[in-house]
Amino acid sequence: MALTILGLSGALSHDPSAALYIDGKLIAAAEEERFVRDKHAKNRMPYESAKFCLEQAGIKPSDVDVVAIPFAPISLFGKARWHYAKRYWYAPDRALDALLMGNRRYKRYRNKIVWCLEQLGFDPKKIKIEPVEHHLAHASSAYHCSGFTEKTAIMGIDGKGEYATTFFGYGENGKIHKIKEFFDPDSLGGLYGAITEFLGFEMLDGEFKVMGMAPYGDASKYDFSRLATFENGELIINTELANVIGLRRYKENGKGFYFSPKLIEWLGPKRVGDVADEPYIHYAASMQALFEKLALQMMDHYLGDILKETGKIAFAGGCALNVKLNQRIIARPEVKELFVQPASGDAGTAVGAAAYVSHARGVPVEKMEHVYLGPSYSNEDVIAACARHPSKPVWRQIDNTPQRIAEIMVKGNPVAWFQGR
């Protein structure tokens, strides 16, 4: 069956991207930030990345059978919107909005994608858009790209999608089965993001810095267990302290943060500047320790039996980029093989949404063997770019490249090496 699917992510959030599958083969995938030179390209459309994918494949918009997006309408008859409303009771406007107009964000998302497609030359009357739930897109990006043929445990942990924040399930014979989801504000990724803000970094960007700061601290100095618990199969974030909205937010210079003034009362002032000093290094260590503890508890609770059966697990979502957690997972005796989607953050949901739709339409996707899926540039392209640049950077071609690079490094100078992709 011939099938061409364009996956598009972004529109209302961060890390917009595009991916193109043709007959189950991932032909191209790229993040918008790489083209527009704006880190995370927040609230931008995946225009340049989609344009690249089409050009790389040598196809026209009319050749695309379906556009897959990692954002879907959520039914009022499920748990998600009611959970959100109940937990955010202290912000009645947001709670009621979730119940009465809970898919408004999806409609805005879809409308922006349609606009982007029109700019790319798609016929608005013929565009077929297939929405995939955000965490199913994450799950698909991990499971369907893993190449695992056995029954596979699937874990997805990030900030939030439509309403879901965490996904546990399994994949078998190409089909993804949900076991459990948690919903906003009960988000382990959101909590990590809140502490990221408290430690002076930007949420959705600086989490890796917190992970890098953690080894310099002593987690035993501060007990962070009051921030979140996992008991009787339920993750509960303490929304007196973190994952807060509205009037509960701590504000500074007119900006609201994802934690409350009560967190400041407990831990002291928000970190300012770049010095990794006490007590903040210990706070980072304590957050990392709590994060690992809760993630592993949830994994054991919902995926333990599957892991004992086959030992295979696929992991995606922004929290899958936490290498310290991944070390703990792979060290488990019951885990034989762990596949982490290289683009685990929201950039990977373009791949995931497209892969999910491809499988749903009867065309399995190939195992992801590499991530060299973006544009490539020749020496001539680089020289032309230097000529176009306002700063007119100096360039010269060198012979015996490996030897020359080695000489530069021996002298203590850094080298940035770009080659192809």
Distance CA 138, CA 161 (A): 10
| Helix residue spans in 182-279 (DSSP H) | 188-198, 207-213, 261-267
Question: What's the start-to-end Cα distance of the chain, in Å?
Answer: 31
User: At residue 141, does pLDDT exceed 70?
Assistant: yes
Contact 183, 80 (CB under 8 A): yes
The per-residue pLDDT for 274 is: 74
pLDDT of res. 90:
96
Report which of 280, 286, 338, 292 is spatially closest to residue 312, judged by C-alpha positions. 338
Distance CA 368, CA 352 (A): 12
Please say if the pLDDT value at position 12 is more than 90. no
H or E stretch covering 4: strand 4-9
pLDDT reading at 24 higher than 80: yes
pLDDT band for 223, please (50, 70, 90 cuts): very high
- 392 pLDDT above the threshold of 70: yes
What is d(CA 203, CA 318) in angstroms, rounded to the nearest whole number? 12
Higher pLDDT, 38 or 316: 316
Residue 421 above 90 pLDDT? no
Kindly report, residue by residue over 242-258, the tens digit of the pLDDT. 999 999 999 999 999 99
Alpha-carbon distance 130 to 67, whole Å? 6
Q: What is the dihedral of CA 118, 122, 123, 128, to 10 degrees?
A: -110
pLDDT digits (tens, 9 = 90+) for 267-284: 999 999 876 688 999 999
For residues 40-54, average pLDDT: 95
* Contact call for residues 167 and 317 (beta carbons, < 8 A): yes
Separation CA 347–CA 244 (nearest Å): 25
Q: Is 199 left (phi over 0), alpha (psi -120 to 50) or beta?
A: alpha
| Mean pLDDT score, 291-299 | 99
Of residues 273 and 216, more confidence is placed in 216
**DSSP strand pairing (234-237 vs 228-231):** antiparallel
Q: Quick one: pLDDT at residue 139? A: 99
191-215 pLDDT, tens digit per residue, is 999 999 999 999 999 999 999 999 9
Both structure tokens of 416: 């940035």
| Whole-angstrom Cα Rg for the chain | 23
For 324, the token pair is 């310290």
Query: Which pLDDT band, with edges at 50, 70 and 90, does 419 fall under?
Result: confident
DSSP structural state of residue 415: -
Model pLDDT, residue 238? 99
Structure-token pair, residue 330: 């792979």
Name which CATH class applies to 4-69+73-131+345-360. Answer: alpha beta
Residues in the chain: 421
Q: Are 106 and 43 in contact (CB under 8 A)?
A: no
Q: How confident is the model at residue 420 (pLDDT cuts 50, 70, 90)?
A: confident
Beta strand 255-256 with 312-316: parallel, antiparallel or unpaired?
A: unpaired
Give the fold, CATH level 3, of 188-339.
Answer: Nucleotidyltransferase; domain 5 (3.30.420)
For residue 276, the model assigns a pLDDT of: 67
Domain ranges across the chain: 4-69+73-131+345-360, 188-339, 376-421
Fold matches, 4-69+73-131+345-360 and 188-339: yes
User: What's the CA gap between 59 and 400, in Å, rounded?
Assistant: 39
Residues 6 or more apart whose CB falls under 8 angstroms from that of 181 comprise 80, 135, 164, 165, 166, 167, 168
